[in-house]
Homo-oligomer: A and B are copies of this chain.
């Protein structure tokens, strides 16, 4: 599978020869199906988008409760990990295919406003402390998305050692200091 090759060895190091060999077909044949390497990357990217889309839990009118949000985020992390080239190698890929950069930027901007709306709801419901400024709430939403986008970028994530659920919990630790002390305690237990 070309996905694994790219993930493991890097987009710039994997050639069409490698991919053809892995697939058990000739290089000429590969170029018949995919005119070039970029087309291959684009296909993988749209695969990821559909995977992420189909993993979305139906929100409808009701916002998710913390437990559901954790599950949903775990699913997302799983998908992101299997397509981790788009996060770990974003610089290389964005330089080759600026459209992918644009789509990803837009995607995460949308996610950010969704999460901002959710946080503001939490605040209205009184789960957040009153002294938290609107500016700081925006910052929290920004940080949340930033973490999702970058978690694979620096750390050596090894799915055998640490579970995706663990990283999802770690992510939600961002919220803790914003909550009322009692609410904070119960959340912290949930996230341990």
Contacts and interface: CB of A to CB of B under 8 A. Distances in A.
- Consensus secondary structure, chain A interface: helix
Nearest to A8: B95
Contacts of A178: 177
A136 B176 contact: yes
A10 B149 contact: no
Contact of A177 (B132, B153, B170): B132
A55 interface: no
Contacts of A146: 147, 150, 154
A136 B89 contact: no
A150 B139 contact: no
A123 B13 CA distance: 48
Interface string A54-74: 000000000000000000000
Contacts of A192: 135
A12 interface: yes
Contact of A173 (B10, B13, B139, B154): B139
Contacts of A89: 91-92
A160 interface: no
Contact of A131 (B9, B92, B133, B181): B181
A167 to B, nearest CB: 12
Interface in A1-22: 9-10, 12-13
A32 to B, nearest CB: 27
A100 interface: no
24 contacts: A10-B91, A10-B95, A12-B12, A12-B92, A13-B95, A88-B91, A89-B92, A91-B91, A91-B153, A129-B177, A131-B181, A131-B184, A132-B177, A136-B176, A136-B177, A139-B170, A139-B173, A143-B174, A146-B150, A149-B154, A150-B150, A153-B153, A177-B177, A177-B178
